[in-house]
Structure 1
């Protein structure tokens, strides 16, 4: 005797579809808990006079400053900074990926290049500024080159480490099946090294934003770094903090885009995602 299965309730599918959205919003709410708490606390401390307003303006005052800037030159500064970061990051990360493949696959290349790169990456960002100004002047080229230098080394270091940490047995299996070097790189080396490469790209983008500020603090007439300098010279801490907030938001947005790309490219992994929490 066969039993007929009961039909699912009409709302069952709807509940299943909305659950991921609800979990996502809960995660976002948890991520905003600390920043919002700090904003409320700072507003209270400035309001009761425990924190001097001339040193640390209240968040409400910073919000008004952001609104004023948005009606004026803010978008010009954001556009200039974005163009510099994207250009410098594309150049630095692109060159780093090429050198990474060379050094990661060749011991001989590592012997020649690694000592030089080890010395260059120890140079602070501000130390490059006078030299680049002497060589390239104060136009856009020096700023983009400085950002490219900042983006290069995280991509290079993480990429080489990712290639060298590939399980040797995987390479031996590919060679045993007669893989050509190109097929070996496409089918084994690239998928195995991809997590490290993407981590390096995110680190390089983060340093690109840091080097942007170093470039614009020294020689710029527009950009968020210039806005920082202008706020300092005019004794406007609200302008300085507004520029810092915009930099943080742009950095978070750009890193979020790379993080989404990383999740899509690595969706095939069954990796440990941590214990507790949701999604």
Structure 2
């Protein structure tokens, strides 16, 4: 049974992580890596299985995922709206873009002490930080995507009698989608990065809280498990974004599959 080129490339992407895990396990069993420094993958898997049976792991994953999705929806929606407004309207861009660019250069994680003073250590603080981190990648890439639309295509649409709405839906937005998806994928990475920091500072549930509690009791296998779950969730989110990108941009030359090479030219 032969795999398709797409499936083969997908499996190839997992080759390095698989080799890394096998090497890690082998070095740990041989004693080259101390369990006090980095537990073996089998020990981490055993800790995860124990937490899964108790229901604690599912509870923490659900808490982290809920915060991540809520913050992404708020920050991503606002970033997309501002990007569209400033990309389509020179007046809106003149009014808000300078202020937004100034705010973008402030590290949002440096605002954690201020956010805790504003919101306390409740859910609002963590969701606000995630939303703030996600906002700017999506805003900037949406703005650049709208501005980077080929003006000749826009002019051609006007010549063919397209109104503003049809021009936006059929010309401007499709042309901006590659940049928008770039911002989406970048924003997803920032989402998990921000959540990790927020949950290790002020939380009573979630993967970050689980890691901090494990640190207090010197449970290094649970700490490593938390990190690996964050990585897996980030990979899952990126894969979903890439799948949506490929489905939405199937018309784009960069996302079209190469034609079959087995056919003979006539």
Counterparts in 2 of 1:1-279, with a 5 A limit? 21-72=3-54, 73-271=56-254
TM-score (norm 2): 0.90
Partner of 1:267: helix, strand, or coil? coil
> Shift of the alpha carbon at 1:38?
1.0
Where does the alignment leave 5 or more consecutive residues of structure 2 unmatched?
262-266
Highest CA radius of gyration, 1 or 2? Answer: 1
3-state DSSP class of the match of 1:271?
Answer: helix
How far is the alpha carbon of 1:180 from its aligned partner? 1.8
The 4+ residue runs of structure 1 with deviation greater than 4 A are 272-275
RMSD: 2.0
In structure 1, runs of 5+ residues without a counterpart are 1-17
Take 2:141 and 2:124, find their aligned partners in 1: how far apart are those partners? 27
CA distance in 2, matches of 1:138, 1:162: 37
TM norm structure 1: 0.86
**Maintained 8 Å contact 2:246/2:255:** no
Taking the aligned partners of 1:119 and 1:236, their CA distance within structure 2 comes to: 42
Q: 2: distance between equivalents of 1:23 and 1:177?
A: 40
The number of aligned residues is 258
